Amino acid sequence: MINKLIHKIEENKAPIVVGLDPMLGYIPEHIKEKAYKEHGETLEGAAEAVWQYNKGLIDATYDLIPAVKPQIAMYEQFGIPGLVAFKKTIDYCKEKDLVVIGDVKRGDIGSTSAAYATAHIGKVQVGENTYRGFDEDFMTVNPYFGIDGIKPFVDVCKEEKKGIFVLVKTSNPSSGEFQDRLIDGKPLYEHVAEKVAQWGSECMGDSYSYVGCVIGATYPQMGEVLRKIMPKQYILVPGYGAQGGKAKDLAPYFNKDGLGAIVNSSRGIIAAYKQPAYEKFGAECYADASRQAVIDMREDINSAILG
């Protein structure tokens, strides 16, 4: 799947991923009103609004982007109906030939990690039948448990030719409370990066590993160091735009060929119509605003990394 992701990035000239992280406050009133009329102001109504909102966003942007990244918490808040919307979103994105990165940040040990991997990127046996649960192409993983927590995911990656993105240096302001702690003269995130490179060497695509990493856009100096430690890892870069990351800071995350990283934007795209730059589109044309935001982001990033 890493080969497909790279191919689609090259094909679209867009090293970007759209974070499908819907909040009810982002969803235009006309979508919510229709969903509530059909299902009431219920969890089912909220989930239907989320699904219809996502569908509009996907329809407007799928030909411009290589991948999407739905954040499962935004769906879980609506219970089982929300998870149904999550699954419908994944399936629809795959119908559009998009690569799906499940932002689920799972991590445990042994059979629990194996079950998480099965649920999101693997398959489960039920009697004589085999089923895929959510069936993303990649998932985000927390490395805190060490190899006991990572190996079950890597095993499924090898079997399914799918991938994981391991948290190395996150974009949130307090990440340094743990991640920047010095151990044997190096910050913890460098030790994690070394392990990610080691884990990734066991399952390679043509040029990059199925095991990638997450490094926030808000830490470009660290990105430069980590890029050298993990030359074969694809970097998922959150924090662009709304969280303060700038395109000019992204060059260190990429290799000289312009590959090696994919940059996420969530509300900066999916709620673009609420921003002054795109408010002319209005709520009724929220998806058109998102399409323009994708075009602008693509140009911004390409100008920064390619010159």
The set of catalytic residues is 105
SS3 11: helix
CA distance 136 to 100: 5
CA distance 165 to 191: 16
Q: Are 170 and 226 in contact (CB under 8 A)?
A: no
Q: Which residues of 122-147 are buried (b: 16+ CB within 10 A; e: fewer)?
A: beeeeeeeeeebbbbbbbbbebebee
Virtual torsion, Cα 124, 72, 218, 154, nearest 10 deg = -10
Q: Are 207 and 252 in contact (CB under 8 A)?
A: no
CA distance 190 to 254: 18
- Neighbouring-strand partners of residue 261: 235
The 3-class secondary structure across 115-147, one letter per residue, is HHHHHHHCCEEECCEEECCCCCCEEEECCCCCH
Tokens of 220: 């470009």
Secondary structure element (H or E) that encloses residue 211, with its range:
strand 211-215
CA distance 68 to 17: 5
DSSP 175: G
Crossing angle of helices 43-61 and 29-39, in 10° steps, is 140
SS3 218: coil
